[in-house]
Amino acid sequence: MNYAYYFERDGARSHLSLAEWRAAVEAVPGVRSVAAPLDGLGDWVGYWINPRGTPGRQLHDLPDRAADAEVLFPAEGRWRRAFYWHRRSEPGLGVVTFEDCPASVSRDKYPVWVAAQALAARLGAELVGEDHTAYEG
């Protein structure tokens, strides 16, 4: 698994409401809610997916997938799922994660990172790595 990032406010990874996440997704160009949330594996960026037929819960089958978001990759002319909503125990709250860009690509040219910065600005959040390091948006 690659290095993961979170949108974080006030030091709380589970501080985003589903409503504000969806509003941010709708407001940022090049980002959209997933078209078919539970329709097979689709075109995913990052995140290991437990293949069908193996024991354990499969990431792509979880009900939370309906709140994921896709990013447009203009050079490829296609949308790819990149932001993953994970519900938390607090009603209506969750955390959104995404994975770092490939080492061969500059962050400022990687559509997911560019979208993450725009989403973070819209949400009043910062991008924080899994080691709790904050990254400027």
Tens digit of pLDDT for each residue in 32-55?
Answer: 998 766 555 557 776 555 455 555
For 56-84, what is the mean pLDDT? 78
Give the tens place of pLDDT for each residue, 79-104: 888 998 887 777 778 888 888 888 88
User: Which ranges of the chain does DSSP label H, i.e. alpha helix?
Assistant: 18-27, 111-123
Check whether 67 has a pLDDT greater than 80: yes
Predicted pLDDT at 1: 43
pLDDT band at 57 (very low <50, low <70, confident <90, very high): very low
Predicted pLDDT at 5: 87
The two counts, helices (H) then strands (E), for the chain are: 2, 8
Dist. CA 124–CA 120, nearest whole Å: 6
pLDDT band at 137 (very low <50, low <70, confident <90, very high): very low
For 10-29, what is the mean pLDDT? 87
